[in-house]
């Protein structure tokens, strides 16, 4: 049985930029059914997690006005984020979306600047200093920042499980590719209901 005191539920970018209709990235989640299911399942997960002893961790993005921390880039997210002016700190876009707002006893990752929640952040220090060995991960987008976090967690020595139906890629094909071709190299996946059942036993 999983030791919940040595485990953490890691939420990736449950922020308005993704999850509200006026969010600049909301249209990228073009599979509306997948997104609706992910949000419903994630709401159930966070509700049950808050009644358990599992550690809860939130990782969002928030950049300074001129995106100086990203430098000048021609390609990838370091180029795209400043171009589209996404995840500006202290704006509605970078705020967490209810009911995923961090509560007082939940850890919020600081310093992150990359696709992985570990990138330049204090996440690894928090996990090691609190003797957390296993990560249950859910969020957006599954094939980008969730996957990047999964890969980094694996290489840092953590056991990682993606709650796949509480996460969304842009479309069905991307999610299926991740589940069929990527996940087994770096971790494992499970359903939200199975995670909730695990919490109830812990």
Model pLDDT for residues 27-84, shown as the tens digit of each residue:
999 999 999 999 999 999 999 999 999 999 999 999 999 999 999 999 999 999 999 9
Model pLDDT for residues 133-186, shown as the tens digit of each residue:
999 999 999 999 999 999 999 999 999 999 999 999 999 999 999 999 999 999
Under CATH, to which class is 4-60+99-201 assigned? alpha beta
Q: Which residues of 139-152 are buried (b: 16+ CB within 10 A; e: fewer)?
A: bbbbbbbbbbbbbb
Q: How many helices (H) and strands (E) does the chain have?
A: 8, 6
Q: Record the tokens describing residue 56, joined without a space.
A: 């809860």
Cβ(54)–Cβ(6) under 8 Å? no
């Amino acid at each position: 049985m999983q030791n919940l005191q040595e485990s953490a539920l890691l939420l990736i970018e449950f922020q308005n930029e993704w999850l509200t209709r006026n969010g600049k990235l909301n249209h990228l989640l073009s599979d509306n059914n997948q997104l609706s299911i992910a949000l419903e399942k994630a709401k159930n997960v966070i509700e049950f997690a808050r009644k358990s002893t599992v550690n809860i961790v939130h990782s969002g993005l928030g950049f300074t006005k001129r995106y100086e921390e990203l430098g000048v880039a021609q390609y990838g997210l370091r180029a795209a984020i400043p171009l589209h002016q996404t995840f500006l700190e202290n704006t509605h876009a970078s705020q967490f979306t209810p009911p995923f707002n961090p509560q007082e006893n939940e850890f919020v990752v600081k310093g992150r600047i990359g696709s992985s929640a570990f990138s330049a952040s204090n996440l690894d220090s928090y996990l090691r200093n609190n003797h957390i060995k296993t990560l249950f991960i859910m969020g957006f987008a599954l094939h980008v920042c969730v996957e990047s976090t999964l890969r980094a967690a694996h290489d840092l020595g953590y056991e990682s499980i993606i709650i796949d139906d509480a996460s969304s890629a842009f479309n069905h094909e991307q999610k299926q590719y991740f589940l069929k071709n990527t996940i087994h190299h770096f971790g494992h996946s499970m359903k939200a209901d199975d995670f909730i059942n695990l919490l109830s036993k812990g």
